[in-house]
């Protein structure tokens, strides 16, 4: 039974600490004069067994929502309807403490192609939406967010979101959702798997590294993922779709992030749209080879790795079987006492969600997931905060019925769910 917490204690002791009660573990970190440890989010975060902890030794549990920024405009959605401040305020007001902020590698590729200069938001709206709606949406964006101007770049919008999150004490988890900016995910979108049509592995690793480095200016940024929902692509890249190649590429991605910014937690996601990551939990062969996950491959940062899975078994009609499914797909890693658990990690449900326009929130799926997360004291991000997208699948101003917010992002779509479902879930789980 491997316990990453033990390793992090050992490394703290190696830094000159003494064997103190668990509540004092954080003190050796202060020897580094790390000012960040003196104010929220009290980073850098580390893992200790099944928990994420801040530098003071307190547990951190994300309870939050996805906030997409990987669409064609390549800035966080909703800003033509509301200000960054009002959206973050809304998120915070119901007890959520984190956002999973998504971006596309295309943004970074374009920065490199343009001698390090990012595209302006103004140009990006026009490129994505055309000559009619581009300028119109952009002027809405400026009206709602008057601190921006014609020279504001896409990354500066991400900067402003991260700065507002710091102000309001909302953790930022940065998620690479796509290579080519667009709605995700299908098996024929060219972004499914390493080497797929629009998924260049070197550009991906370069993009992770760029954002990890850039994120040093975002104190609220505490973790990054490698890639959203890896899946078997249609076409020729499918022959390499397996756990063995997953591992080769995952090591490349984690190393890209950790060498650029060693403070960040790094989330590992599984196969089949990130619906399971069991071979890492049970330490079985990464097929078709016989190699296995090994902490030796993450030397110096084994206490930075976290697992994430997604669940969209929305038609579930039996809560016990849904809970077993969640457990067997990854949450088993929270349970060191299970004889089949070899690697203990924190595990988060970084996507789940349902239509907000009806009573789905009272159905088996939504209530079962909520009770499971509360029982496990596990972190989560609901899909999705967006009441609408600038563009999705070719349709502009796309209505998102799964959105927590209404079309114009002004208020909750289902206040019944917020009061009766989401707030209690956030209260039962959020820490930090
Ligand atoms: C334009 O906005 C950027 C931030 O997006 C800011 O740094 C810059 O100072 C602004 N320029 C003017 C002239 O207000």
pLDDT in tens, 167-180: 999 999 999 999 99
* Mutational pocket test of ligand 1: of 117, 124, 149, 157, the residue with most ligand atoms within 8 Å of the beta carbon: 149
Tell me the β-bridge partners of 306. Answer: 267
Assess whether pLDDT exceeds 70 at residue 73: yes
Residues contacting 147, CB < 8 A, separation 6+ = 160
Assess whether pLDDT exceeds 70 at residue 182: yes
DSSP state of 117: P
- CATH numeric code, 54-429: 3.20.20.80
Query: From the CB of 148, is ligand 1 less than 6 Å away?
Result: yes
Structure tokens at 46: 């580390």
| 65-93 mean pLDDT | 98
Structure confidence at residue 36 as a pLDDT band (50, 70, 90): low
Is beta strand 343-344 parallel, antiparallel or unpaired with respect to 2-3? parallel
pLDDT the model gives residue 236: 81
pLDDT the model gives residue 379: 99
| 85-100 mean pLDDT | 98
pLDDT the model gives residue 281: 98
Query: From the CB of 120, is ligand 1 less than 6 Å away?
Result: no
Cα gap 9→26, rounded to integer Å: 10
CA-based nearest residue to 105, from 170, 237, 194, 217: 194
DSSP state of 268: E
Query: From the CB of 159, is ligand 1 less than 6 Å away?
Result: no
Tell me the β-bridge partners of 64. Answer: 98, 381
| 18-22 mean pLDDT | 37
**Residue with CA at minimum distance from ligand 1 atom 3:** 152
Q: What Cα–Cα distance (Å) separates residue 370 from each residue in 41, 364, 396? A: 25, 10, 32
Please tell me whether residue 355 adopts helix, strand or coil conformation. coil
Q: What percent of the chain is modeled with pLDDT above 70?
A: 91
Instruction: Give me the residue spans of the domains in the chain.
Output: 54-429
Q: Yes or no: say if 120 and 149 are a contact pair by the CB < 8 Å rule.
A: no
Q: What Cα–Cα distance (Å) separates residue 73 from each residue in 85, 157, 402? A: 20, 11, 21
pLDDT the model gives residue 37: 64
Assess whether pLDDT exceeds 60 at residue 29: no
| 268-293 mean pLDDT | 98
Assess whether pLDDT exceeds 50 at residue 294: yes
Burial of 90 (0-12, 13-18, 19+ CB in 10 A): buried
Structure confidence at residue 359 as a pLDDT band (50, 70, 90): very high
Q: What Cα–Cα distance (Å) separates residue 300 from each residue in 12, 266, 268, 294? A: 12, 13, 17, 13
Query: From the CB of 149, is ligand 1 less than 6 Å away?
Result: yes
* Mutational pocket test of ligand 1: of 83, 152, 162, 217, the residue with most ligand atoms within 8 Å of the beta carbon: 152
pLDDT in tens, 108-167: 999 999 999 999 999 999 999 999 999 999 999 999 999 999 999 999 999 999 999 999
Q: Which of 8-22, 54-68, 389-403 has the lowest mean pLDDT?
A: 8-22
Structure confidence at residue 237 as a pLDDT band (50, 70, 90): confident
DSSP state of 170: -
**Average pLDDT of the residues of the chain:** 93
| 31-40 mean pLDDT | 63
Q: Yes or no: say if 107 and 156 are a contact pair by the CB < 8 Å rule.
A: no
pLDDT the model gives residue 2: 35
Assess whether pLDDT exceeds 70 at residue 15: no
- Could you tell me the pTM of the whole model? 0.92
Assess whether pLDDT exceeds 90 at residue 222: yes
Length of the chain as a residue count: 432
Cis peptide leading into 254, omega within 30 of 0? Answer: no
Q: Yes or no: say if 101 and 76 are a contact pair by the CB < 8 Å rule.
A: yes
Q: Yes or no: say if 97 and 171 are a contact pair by the CB < 8 Å rule.
A: yes
């Amino acid at each position: 039974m491997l316990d990453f917490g033990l390793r992090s204690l050992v490394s703290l002791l190696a830094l000159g600490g003494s064997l103190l009660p668990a509540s004092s573990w954080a003190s050796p970190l202060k020897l580094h004069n790390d000012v960040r440890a003196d104010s929220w989010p009290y980073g850098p975060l580390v893992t200790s067994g099944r928990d994420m902890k801040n530098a003071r030794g307190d547990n951190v549990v994300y309870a939050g929502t996805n906030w997409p920024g990987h669409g064609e405009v390549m800035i966080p959605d909703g800003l033509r309807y509301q200000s960054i401040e009002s959206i973050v305020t809304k998120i915070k007001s119901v007890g959520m403490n984190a956002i999973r902020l998504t971006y596309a590698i295309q943004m970074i590729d374009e920065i490199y192609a343009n001698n390090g200069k990012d595209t302006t938001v103004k140009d990006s709206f026009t490129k994505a939406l055309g000559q009619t709606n581009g300028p119109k949406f952009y002027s809405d964006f400026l009206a709602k967010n008057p601190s921006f101007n014609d020279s504001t770049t896409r990354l500066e919008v991400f900067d402003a979101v991260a700065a507002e999150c710091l102000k309001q004490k909302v953790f930022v988890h940065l998620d690479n959702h796509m290579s080519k900016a667009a709605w995700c995910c299908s098996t024929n979108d060219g972004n499914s798997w390493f080497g797929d049509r629009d998924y260049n592995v070197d550009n991906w690793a370069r993009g992770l590294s760029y954002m990890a480095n850039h994120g040093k200016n975002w104190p609220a940024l505490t973790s990054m993922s490698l890639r959203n929902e890896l899946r078997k692509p249609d076409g020729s890249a499918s022959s390499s779709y397996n756990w063995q190649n997953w591992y080769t590429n995952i090591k490349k991605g984690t190393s890209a992030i950790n060498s650029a910014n060693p403070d960040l937690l790094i989330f590992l996601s599984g196969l089949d749209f990130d619906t399971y990551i069991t071979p890492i939990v049970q330490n079985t062969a990464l097929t078709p080879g016989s190699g296995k996950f090994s902490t030796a491959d993450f030397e110096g940062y084994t206490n930075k790795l976290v697992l994430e899975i997604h669940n969209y078994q929305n038609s579930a009609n039996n809560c016990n079987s849904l809970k077993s499914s969640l457990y067997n797909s990854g949450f088993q890693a929270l349970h060191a006492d299970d004889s089949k658990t070899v690697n203990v990690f924190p595990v988060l449900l970084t996507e789940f969600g349902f239509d907000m326009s009806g009573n789905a929130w009272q159905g088996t799926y939504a209530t079962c997931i909520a009770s499971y997360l509360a029982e496990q004291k596990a972190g989560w991000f609901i899909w999705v905060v967006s009441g609408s997208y600038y563009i999705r699948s070719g349709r502009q101003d796309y209505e998102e019925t799964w959105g927590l917010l209404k079309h114009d992002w002004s208020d909750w779509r289902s206040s019944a769910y917020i009061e009766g479902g989401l707030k209690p879930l956030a209260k039962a789980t959020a820490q930090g």
